[in-house]
Amino acid sequence: MSTGDRIVSLSRSTSESSVELELNLDGSGVADIDTGVRFYDHMLASLAKHALLDLRVKATGDVDVDAHHTVEDVAIVLGDALREALGDKRGISRFGDATVPLDEALVQAVVDVAGRPYVVHTGEPEGQQYVVIGGTYVGSLTRHVWESLAGRAGIALHVRVLAGRDPHHIVEAQFKAVARALRAAVARDERVQGVPSAKGSLST
């Protein structure tokens, strides 16, 4: 089992946004998030808290026009950081599955960090994608977050909204469920010898 540090610092700049991010995969849930989109800050802090990641994000962008660019670019950098922090994936559990309630909302998330990106995102109630939360976060952004994160991290991610009425709760339960699933998948297990695959290797 690998015992090396899984800490990554990355940055990304485009004509639409600038992102600086630090990730410690073996943290305690400490978060320092400033993206200019307050609801997204809250969601990323929840992700860090429940995945036990230490996460620092500083992002600036054209949020006065549309939060989409900043939200998506932060998810891209977070995905890159996860992929880099996981390294060769030796000694990890690989799979994670969590079902999380938030009052009336209930969400299941399942992940496989094998290196093959795929996203299945189902169950949001009709109209969720059009709801604006916190003044700038549009409900449709949640799917973009999962697609960007999983695509860059090399994660197969299934997110199923099983119940929910409140748009805030529906989004937050998704972030918390993904967090708990990731926490299980990236955890080191001393019983795992080498890479957790019968083939002896995982896709990169």
Read off the tokens for 78.
């977070």
Alpha helix (H) residue ranges in 20-166 = 38-51, 68-86, 141-153
Read off the tokens for 1.
């089992």
pLDDT at 198 (0 to 100):
46
pLDDT at 63 (0 to 100):
84
pTM confidence score: 0.91
Kindly report the number of other CB atoms within 10 A of residue 135's CB atom. 9
pLDDT at 196 (0 to 100):
53
pLDDT, averaged in runs of 10, over the chain (204 residues): 79 93 98 97 99 98 88 98 94 96 99 97 98 96 98 98 98 99 92 57 54
Q: How far apart are CA 33 and CA 43, in angstroms?
A: 10
Phi, psi of 137 (to 5 degrees): -95, 115
pLDDT at 1 (0 to 100):
42
In the chain, the domains with their CATH numbers are 7-186 (3.30.230.40)
Phi, psi of 37 (to 5 degrees): -120, 100
